[in-house]
Amino acid sequence: MPPELATSVERDGRAAVVRLEGDLVVPTARALYTQLQDIARRRDVRSIVIDFARVGRIDSSGVAAVSLVGQQAKRSGRTLELRELGEHHRAAFAMSPRKVEEPPAEPPPTSFEALGDSMIATWDGAKALTSIVKDTTYQGVLVAGRRKQLPAGSVASQLFEMGFNGLFIVSLLAFLIGMTMGFQGVTQLERFGAGVFVADMLGLSMVRELAPLMTAIIITGRTGAAIAAELGTMKVRSEIDALATMGIDPNRFLILPRLLAITIAGPALTLIAMFVGMLGGMLVTSLALDLPAIAYWGRIAESVTLGDFAHGLIKAVLFSWIIAISGSHFGMRATGDPSSVGHATTRTVVVSVLSIILVDAAFATITTIAGGGP
Amino acid sequence: MSTLLECRDLVCGYDKPLLQDVNLTVGAHEIVVLLGGSGCGKSTLLRTITGLLPPLSGQVLVFGESLYDLAPEERNQLLRRTGTAFQQDALFGSMSVGENIALPLRELTKLPQSMIKEMVRMKLGLVGLGGFESRLPTQLSGGQRKRAALARATILDPQLVFCDEPSAGLDPVVAASIDETLVQFRDTLGITLVVVTHVIESVRAIADRAVVLAGGRVCAAGTIAELEASTAPEVYGFFHRVPVAPHATPTTRTITRGIT
Ligand SMILES: Nc1ncnc2c1ncn2[C@@H]1O[C@H](COP(=O)(O)OP(=O)(O)OP(=O)(O)O)[C@@H](O)[C@H]1O
Ligand SMILES: [Mg+2]
């Protein structure tokens, strides 16, 4: 049987006498609280009396309801009296502290201070980023000079995870985008009778723009997020501290292998995406235009130069570094609680994609101005 | 007796000072226990001593060298002669127990694989985890993880080992066996240990000396016999398990600062 609480209110001059019958527990406390609040708000009530004679059990929700009403009454100059309290009612009320010493609250920061705080945070972040780049480069130099070693097998296993395991999704996307571009090109250029130029357009845009950009975005989602999550989890579980106290540099042990692996995997995947993308385009053109495969690849070989490949691959390297460094940076800055790992991955993805697109735009602008033409 | 660790006028904390005027020395072949209420800054002090958290002021000398004045590579060299077992075990989740313990050997020595394996096997036996090499840390109980962490911290046979609450939250039998291992480390391997604990039975079982932290500073230090006899409220409270000392009214300042 669910606990029940019946109330009856009697007026005695300016006093309201509330008689309770039943249990004052979680299922009944809320209704009582609302009722008592209403009474305590009435103009003609100066004092409230609660009669506990027929109250059975009382739990902390009951105590809370009564003491909140008491506080409210006190603020508005009314009085609250508890009558006929049994032994265990008294014990329950005695558990609630008379007055809780609240630690002095820090004054909320003024907007000026908040601005300062966020500037300090940004500055700290920038410093941390610089030191990660600097320390990892330094460790890289040590490793290159054979003064230090990378953990055995670390680059290979990272390379497998980043490169080989990403191969399918990158190829699939490149193929589909190549096909889409092919359809677009065919319908647009056919109207001018320039259908064969689809091959030129596809080759150039795949190699210079689409493959690097699209691959980078997939790597951000797969690898950048994974780096942030892995390092963040290790940070939160004090594994990074453990490395540091062993005298093992976390930059060399954790970041450098990932950076090296992504420097190989990023451009390799991009190169594959370039060709698979053109393959997707070929499928469409050969069906829609009756352009033989030989002719298609011949046109591409004529229009796409090695310089274009270099352009695409250099961007792929830059994008890969952006991804690895932001993943490491945000992962290493995770603190304390598990939710900070989630923040680290989100930030990595957002910041990487944004920086990649910015760098891409800057690259396009510079190469155009420098006279290379698009 | 040579000094392995020394703190000079150390102030440590995160943004604000948490502990001030910390002066302590740890000599060779002794077990020094850091005592203090929950949240008083024991782990923070340990982080500062192990090179993880730069002090706000003062110096930490490890083997006579000022830890935070060294170049990173020299500091790493120094840290390799110490071992640290964390309050959270901090085992690498992606590696098996054996790989975890072998890691310092693999990374910092040029020992052959077969020797590394043998050393790991011996060390695991010493902490009572013989045959657990291939388990993942998640497949161990809390107490087993703590012991694995202890094995990892001591795998290079460091001269100085730091343990943060090695026996907290364990049943009395396992806790006693960890205590026994620590004493064994001191007696047979000659390791010096700095141990954080608030299990008073452990303190009695292992400590040569204890340092009591309260109210944001070192409030007492000495041998266990000396501290047992002390009537200073913070010390008495610890050794006799009373909320407040019976004879001696501590200032409210020390109480509140002790528990915040
Ligand atoms: N990363 C941090 N940033 C800011 N304050 C922290 C941080 N870590 C701990 N603190 C605070 O520093 C104080 C001391 O923490 P510490 O971990 O040193 O306590 P402790 O003495 O080891 O306690 P316990 O016995 O419970 O482990 C606590 O009040 C804690 O809230
Ligand atoms: Mg602690």
Contact B20, B41 (CB under 8 A): no
Considering only CA atoms, which of B67, B70, B55, B68 is closest in space to residue B22? B55
Q: What is the pLDDT of residue A103?
A: 60
Task: Give residue-wise pLDDT tens across range B133-176.
Answer: 899 999 998 888 988 999 999 988 899 999 999 887 788 888 88
Proximal ligand: closest to the CA of B44 = 1
Strands across the sheet with A5-12, in order?
A5-12, A15-24, A47-58, A79-83
Tokens of A37: 């609040």
Upper half-sphere CA count for residue A272 (Cβ side, 13 Å):
17
Cα torsion for A119, A120, A122, A124, to the nearest 10°? 170
- The least confident of A83-92, A94-103, B54-63 is A94-103
Q: Which of B79, B152, B260 sits opposite A247 (nearest CB)?
A: B79
Distance separating alpha carbons of residues B245 and B167, to the nearest angstrom: 26
Q: Say what the pLDDT of residue A60 is.
A: 84
Centre of ligand 1 from the C-alpha of residue B47, in Å: 10
In the structure, what pLDDT confidence band is assigned to residue B248 with cuts at 50, 70 and 90? very low
CB B48 within 8 A of CB B10: yes
- Judge whether B122 and B44 are in contact, CB under 8 Å: no
Ligand nearest the Cα atom of residue B34: 1
Bridge-based pairing of strands A47-58 and A79-83 is: parallel
Residues with CB under 5 A from ligand 2 (ion): B 43, 87
DSSP state string for B10-73 = EEEESSSEEEEEEEEEEETT-EEEEEE-TTSSHHHHHHHHTTSS--SEEEEEETTEEGGGS-HH
What pLDDT score was predicted for residue B258? 34
**Does the structure show a pLDDT above 50 at B255?**
no
End-to-end Cα distance, chain A: 80
B5 φ/ψ angles, rounded to the nearest 5 degrees = -135, 140
CA nearest ligand 1 atom 11, residue: B39
pLDDT digits (tens, 9 = 90+) for A176-208: 999 999 988 888 887 777 777 888 889 999 999
pLDDT per residue as tens digits for the range B82-99:
999 998 888 999 899 999
pLDDT given at position B99: 93
Name which of B88, B92, B108 is nearest A247 (Cβ-Cβ): B108
Q: CA of A133 to nearest chain B CA: how many angstroms apart?
A: 16
Q: Which amino acid is at B259?
A: I
Residue whose pair of structure tokens reads 């013989």 in the numeric block: B130
Nearest-CA neighbor of B245 among B235, B254, B256?
B235
In this prediction, residue A146 has a pLDDT band, given cuts at 50, 70 and 90, of confident
pLDDT at residue A170, rounded to an integer: 95
The predicted structure's pLDDT at residue B256 = 36
Q: What are phi and psi of B9, to 5 degrees?
A: 45, 45
Contacts of B248 (CB under 8 A, 6+ apart): B231, B232, B233, B236
For A20-56, how does the pLDDT look when each residue is reduced to its tens digit (9 = 90+)?
999 888 888 888 899 998 888 888 888 899 999 998 8
Split at pLDDT 50, 70, 90, the class of A102 is: low
* CB-CB contact of B258 with B249 (8 Å): no
Among protein residues, the one with the nearest Cα to ligand 1's atom 14 is: B41
Nearest CA in chain B to A135: B72
- Mean pLDDT of all residues in chain B? 86
Query: Tens digits of per-residue pLDDT, B219-246?
Result: 888 888 888 888 888 788 778 777 654 4
Chain B residues closer than 8 Å to A245 by CB: 50-52, 79, 82-84, 162
Average pLDDT over residues A326-333: 95
Once rounded to an integer, what is the mean pLDDT over residues B15-32? 92
Nearest to A248 among B50, B107, B162 (CB): B107
Q: Do residues A14 and A45 lie in contact, with contact meaning Cβ atoms separated by under 8 Å?
A: yes
CB B92 near ligand 1, within 6 Å: no
Residue B251 has pLDDT above 50, yes or no: no
What pLDDT is stored for residue A306 in this prediction? 92
B253 vs A: CB within 8 A: no
Q: Give the whole-angstrom CA distance, residue A311 versus residue B2.
A: 63
